[in-house]
Chain A
């Protein structure tokens, strides 16, 4: 293995200092931020793409830490680690699907370092928390010397490993709405439970119009299918590892919108999803496997929600 390069790095102690370091970052000559380092440190050997040329360490920026509930949303500092998400009583109560996703990433060593802001900024199509952020309609609060702005998760990943961040911008916080009655399910399919990059990862989210708000489960429907209980509204389905970026699958969402989790709807949604995604063959899986398994995983989620 090649000797690691050791790019020059600035270690600002505050957000304004970090902004100053990033002020002359450009697409041609970027300053690469490092948070938990679990992705960018792999690049310094030059084995995976070009190593960064100059860097800025974010670990001293207290402004980017912390988990809070604020005006109907959970707000996660960009430097929140997966371990902190798993242990947070706020996340466990309001964002169980995100807790589940965090628990599937790497193993303890990675979860202790990797951050949710880093997962988003790294923009891997296989980033495990990213479908959850899409399905929960998260928004990124980003900032630079030029000011702050919000970018919806929907608009954040713009191409393969590219985000809507300008070269001088940092993710500050991720804001996740916690409307009552919203249910979310997460599923990652990989080669093994720990230390696996996903073959397919998906998150499904809906509001159960007729069910008790925040009940955690939709009331089961009768196996015969008569009198289905629970109509889904505001359905969002997001997937990773099936496109060049994490995506929402809106045609499949339309099948589920204003529908109930019946066997017929599950069949129709699975068929729609298999037709809507266009995964590729790569070292981890094949296009065909991804298409079939994504559809089956969705079918299973709907079945579990329907209780049949």
Chain B
């Protein structure tokens, strides 16, 4: 066991866990943040994508001992609150508007990969968007609506 300190969605957390516990399990089981999904558990599908210091990673492949001191961003941190209630991230709005979510299992990972893409200055170019989500598999949408949603969030035509 060890004690690990890091930040999740801007809040400092401290967990006691074996160093080899997967970040995915820390988020879902220890911290109750079940927005992050487990798909394949071996780095193929991207469903468990979160951002570590801004970079998308598969949280099933990251042991908690390697995120000490890091900033983690999960899907729960995308929406913000205002005096009138929760405010969705423009990516989430675009996914709703363009029909970018169907069964929903890939959606949190897609949103986080796309968030990182936009944060690093990515635009509405389809080829670039497809590369940015190449590590995220979706079995429902055929990707077109997801790509369109990200393009809209990036300022492209709706």
Contacts and interface: CB of A to CB of B under 8 A. Distances in A.
A44 B57 CA distance: 18
Contacts of B62: 37, 41, 113
A57 B19 contact: yes
A83 B55 CA distance: 10
Q: SS class of chain A's interface: helix, strand, loop or mixed? A: loop
A216 interface: no
Given A112-B57, A194-B135, A195-B135, A42 B43 contact: yes
B113 A41 contact: no
Interface residues of B, number: 32
Interface stretch (A4-12, A14-22, A89-97, A274-282): A4-12
A38 B41 CA distance: 11
A167 B50 CA distance: 34
A83 B52 CA distance: 14
A193 B133 CA distance: 12
Contacts, number: 100
Interface string B116-146: 1000000000000001101111000000000
Contact of B135 (A34, A42, A107): A107
Nearest to B20: A6
A133 to B, nearest CB: 22
A212 B119 CA distance: 42
A55 interface: yes
Given A44-B20, A108-B113, A193-B134, A11 B2 contact: yes
Interface residues of A, number: 31
A82 to B, nearest CB: 12
A11 B65 CA distance: 7
A57 B41 contact: no
A45 interface: yes
Contacts of B57: 109, 112-113
Nearest to A3: B25
29 contacts: A4-B21, A5-B20, A6-B20, A8-B20, A41-B43, A41-B60, A41-B61, A42-B42, A44-B20, A45-B41, A55-B20, A106-B43, A106-B135, A108-B55, A108-B131, A108-B134, A109-B43, A109-B49, A109-B57, A109-B61, A109-B113, A110-B135, A112-B56, A112-B57, A113-B57, A113-B58, A193-B134, A195-B135, A195-B137
Interface of B: 2, 18-22, 25, 41-44, 46, 49, 52, 55-58, 60-63, 65-66, 113, 116, 131-132, 134-137
